[in-house]
């Protein structure tokens, strides 16, 4: 073997003792843009029932009542199964207040023509909207809120069949209802869309169901309804008593006042004096009507 000279051996040793080479620095790649954080979704439930009762009642009143506009329903036929149902009607055009129980409203909701109300989209008419879904949240809210919707709104019906269907469908809510109106004794055959078996229902059919409305404070009857009873006030009072004595007695018992119906039945605004064919709009005939009805109630 070739011998390594001492000089080369020394160089080799020095070479091996040198510091190892540093690693070459690599250029860092720019980090990719991080994805934006997902938006925070609040999944907590608002503690509505922890609000005070006064605040909850303010919310119910705001969401479920309308003190300017009455609420109308009509009896109609379900396209799904042919059953009799109730359809909500809305004002075809926004207008002034139409509730008869408002101060200064001599001619209101029960005197407006039926074509003033249609089955239209409520979102086009904000004055007709109600947050009725509140009643479907839970039993407690349903119990608290129902008295506002049924007790503070005025419900008006174009004819007897519509009112009868309402009383049957909402019989379990009748103790909450305080204000009802009936515009006509008979349906308009040209616009009626309800079941035919209801079309000819007479006035006396509503009173047995109406007996459950023990907290009723006002029943507005249009001139045409009262005129249908008779052309004279005292005879009309006897006819009304004969048809509705079951309801009148139930109303009197619930309020411990036999004559309570005299305050509940609201006669039309007086537009003239003396005798005339439309007795219900004349002061003298209205007085005879109330006197005769009071006598019948006292004896009954």
DSSP labels for 189-228? Answer: TTT--S-HHHHT--GGGGHHHHTT-TT--EEEE-HHHHHH
Question: How high is the pLDDT of residue 62?
Answer: 92
**What is the per-residue pLDDT across 154-170, written as a single tens digit (0 to 9) for each?**
999 999 999 999 999 99
Q: Which of 152, 201, 166 is nearest to 89 (CA)?
A: 166
Contact (Cβ atoms closer than 8 angstroms) between residue 160 and residue 186: yes
| Share in percent of the chain as helix, strand, coil (round to 5) | 45, 10, 45
How far apart CA 293 and CA 237 sit, in angstroms, is 5
Res. 275 pLDDT band, cuts 50 70 90: low
In eight-state DSSP terms, residue 169 is H
Residues 6+ apart with CB under 8 A from 241: 248, 293, 296, 297, 300
Q: Is the pLDDT of residue 228 over 80?
A: yes
Q: Looking at residues 103-127, what average pLDDT do you find?
A: 62
**Residue 157: strand pairing partners:** 182
**Residue 181: strand pairing partners:** 156, 220
Q: Is the pLDDT of residue 274 over 80?
A: no
Q: Looking at residues 198-227, what average pLDDT do you find?
A: 92
Name the token pair of 148. Answer: 């506002």
Burial 206-234 (b: 16+ CB within 10 A, else e): bbebbbbbeebeebbbbbbbbbbbbeebb
Average pLDDT, the chain: 83
Q: Which single residue is written with the structure tokens 């249609």?
A: 118
Contact (Cβ atoms closer than 8 angstroms) between residue 148 and residue 60: yes
**What is the per-residue pLDDT across 58-95, written as a single tens digit (0 to 9) for each?**
999 999 998 888 888 899 998 888 899 988 887 777 67
Q: Looking at residues 236-251, what average pLDDT do you find?
A: 94
Res. 131 pLDDT band, cuts 50 70 90: confident
Q: CA angle at residue 133 from 84 to 147, to 5 degrees?
A: 85
Question: How high is the pLDDT of residue 126?
Answer: 55
Q: Is the pLDDT of residue 118 over 80?
A: no
103 or 243: which carries more pLDDT confidence? 243
How far apart CA 161 and CA 252 sit, in angstroms, is 25
Question: How high is the pLDDT of residue 48?
Answer: 87
Contact (Cβ atoms closer than 8 angstroms) between residue 275 and residue 284: yes
Q: Is the pLDDT of residue 147 over 90?
A: yes
How far apart CA 220 and CA 156 sit, in angstroms, is 9
Q: Is the pLDDT of residue 22 over 60?
A: no
How far apart CA 209 and CA 224 sit, in angstroms, is 22
Q: Is the pLDDT of residue 282 over 70?
A: yes
């Amino acid at each position: 073997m070739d011998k390594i000279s001492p000089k080369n051996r020394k160089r080799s040793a020095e070479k091996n003792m040198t510091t190892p080479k540093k690693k070459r620095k690599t250029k860092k790649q720019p980090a990719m843009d991080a994805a934006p954080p997902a938006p925070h979704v609040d999944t907590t439930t608002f503690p509505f029932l922890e609000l005070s009762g006064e605040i909850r009642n303010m919310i119910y009143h705001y969401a479920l009542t309308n003190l300017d506009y009455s609420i109308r329903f009509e009896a109609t036929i379900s396209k799904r199964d042919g059953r009799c149902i109730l359809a909500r009607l809305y004002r075809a055009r926004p207008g002034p207040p139409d509730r008869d129980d408002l101060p200064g409203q001599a001619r209101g909701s029960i005197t407006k023509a039926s074509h003033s109300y249609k089955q239209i989209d409520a979102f086009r008419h904000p004055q007709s909207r109600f947050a009725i879904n509140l009643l479907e949240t839970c039993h407690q809210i349903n119990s608290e809120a129902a008295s506002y919707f049924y007790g503070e709104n005025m419900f008006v019906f174009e004819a007897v069949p519509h009112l009868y269907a309402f009383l049957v469908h909402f019989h379990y809510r009748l103790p909450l209802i305080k204000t009802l109106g009936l515009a006509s004794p008979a349906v308009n055959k040209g616009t009626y869309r309800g079941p035919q078996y209801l079309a000819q229902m007479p006035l006396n059919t509503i009173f047995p169901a109406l007996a459950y409305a023990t907290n009723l404070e006002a029943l507005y009857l249009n001139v045409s309804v009262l005129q249908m009873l008779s052309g004279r006030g005292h005879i009309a009072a006897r006819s009304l008593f004969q048809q509705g004595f079951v309801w009148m007695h139930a109303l009197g018992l619930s309020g411990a006042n036999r004559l309570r119906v005299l305050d509940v039945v609201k006669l039309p605004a007086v537009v003239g004096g003396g005798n005339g064919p439309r007795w219900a709009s004349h002061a003298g005939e209205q007085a005879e009507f109330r006197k005769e009805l009071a006598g019948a109630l006292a004896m009954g």
